Structure 1
Amino acid sequence: MKKDEHILLIDGMALLFRSFFATAVTGQFMMNSKGLPTNGVQGFMKHLLMAVDYVKPTHILVCWDMGSQTFRNDVYSEYKSNRNAPPAELIPQFDLAKEVAEGFNLANVGVPGFEADDCIGTLAKVHHKERKVTVLSGDQDLLQLLDENIEIMLLKKGFGNYQTYTTDLFIEERGITPMQFIDVKALMGDTSDGYPGVKGIGEKTAVKLIQEYEDIEGILNNLDKLTLSQRKKIEADLDMLHVSRKLAEIHCEVPLPLSIENAVWSNVSDASISYIEELELKVLRRFLLSADSLIASG
Structure 2
Amino acid sequence: MSHLLVIDAHAVIHRAYHSIPPSLTYNGQVVNALYGFYSMFLSTVDQLKPKYVVVCMDSPGPTFRDKEYMAYRAQRRPADQDLVKQFPLVKQSLENSAIPLFIMGGYEADDLIATVALQASKQNSISTVTVLTGDKDLMQLVNQKVQLLMPVRGLSQTKTYSIDDVTQRLGVKPDQVVDLKALMGDPSDNYPGVKGVGPKIATSLLEKYENLDSVYQHLDEIKENLRQKLETDKDNAYLSQKLAQLVYDAPIELSLDSALWNQDKQDNLLNIFKSFNFKSLASRLQNKNKNQSKSQPINPQQSLF
TM-score scaled by length of structure 2:
0.88
Match of 1:257 in 2: 253
Call closer, same or farther: CA 1:173–1:90 in 2, change over 3 Å. Answer: closer
8 A Cα contact 1:78 1:194, kept in partner: yes
State how far apart, in whole Å, the 2-side matches of 1:58 and 1:12 are. 19
State how far apart, in whole Å, the 2-side matches of 1:122 and 1:52 are. 21
8 A Cα contact 2:73 2:188, kept in partner: yes
Which letter does structure 1 place at the counterpart of 2:280?
R
Q: CA deviation at 1:226?
A: 0.9
The reply on whether 1:237 has 2:233 as its aligned counterpart is yes
8 A Cα contact 2:16 2:155, kept in partner: no
Match of 1:210 in 2: 206
The reply on whether 1:105 has 2:98 as its aligned counterpart is yes
Q: CA deviation at 1:162?
A: 1.5
CA RMSD of aligned residues (A): 1.9
Match of 1:192 in 2: 188
Q: CA deviation at 1:288?
A: 3.8
How many residue pairs were aligned?
288
The reply on whether 1:11 has 2:8 as its aligned counterpart is yes
Call closer, same or farther: CA 1:149–1:157 in 2, change over 3 Å. Answer: same
8 A Cα contact 2:16 2:154, kept in partner: no
State how far apart, in whole Å, the 2-side matches of 1:230 and 1:164 are. 35
TM-score scaled by length of structure 1:
0.90
Which letter does structure 2 place at the counterpart of 1:286?
S
Secondary structure class of the residue paired with 1:45: helix
State how far apart, in whole Å, the 1-side matches of 2:240 and 2:205 are. 16
Identity %: 33
State how far apart, in whole Å, the 2-side matches of 1:138 and 1:279 are. 26
Which letter does structure 1 place at the counterpart of 2:16?
S
Secondary structure class of the residue paired with 2:188: coil
8 A Cα contact 2:61 2:105, kept in partner: no
Which letter does structure 1 place at the counterpart of 2:24?
M
8 A Cα contact 1:288 1:295, kept in partner: no
8 A Cα contact 2:40 2:155, kept in partner: yes
Match of 1:169 in 2: 165
The reply on whether 1:67 has 2:64 as its aligned counterpart is no
Which letter does structure 2 place at the counterpart of 1:76?
Y
Task: Give every structure 1 segment of 4 or more consecutive aligned residues whose post-TM-superposition deviation is greater than 4 Å.
Answer: 172-175
The range that moved more, 105-114 or 261-270, is: 261-270
Q: CA deviation at 1:148?
A: 2.0
Call closer, same or farther: CA 1:93–1:172 in 2, change over 3 Å. Answer: closer
Match of 1:294 in 2: 288
Which letter does structure 1 place at the counterpart of 2:90?
A
Residues 221-243 of structure 1, C-alpha deviations (whole Å, 9 max, x = no match):
11111111111111111111110
Secondary structure class of the residue paired with 1:89: helix
Secondary structure class of the residue paired with 1:95: helix
Which runs of structure 2 are paired with 1:140-179 in the superposition (5 Å)?
140-172=136-168, 174-179=170-175
The reply on whether 1:31 has 2:25 as its aligned counterpart is yes
The reply on whether 1:50 has 2:43 as its aligned counterpart is yes
State how far apart, in whole Å, the 2-side matches of 1:123 and 1:271 are. 24
Secondary structure class of the residue paired with 2:79: coil
Q: CA deviation at 1:193?
A: 0.6
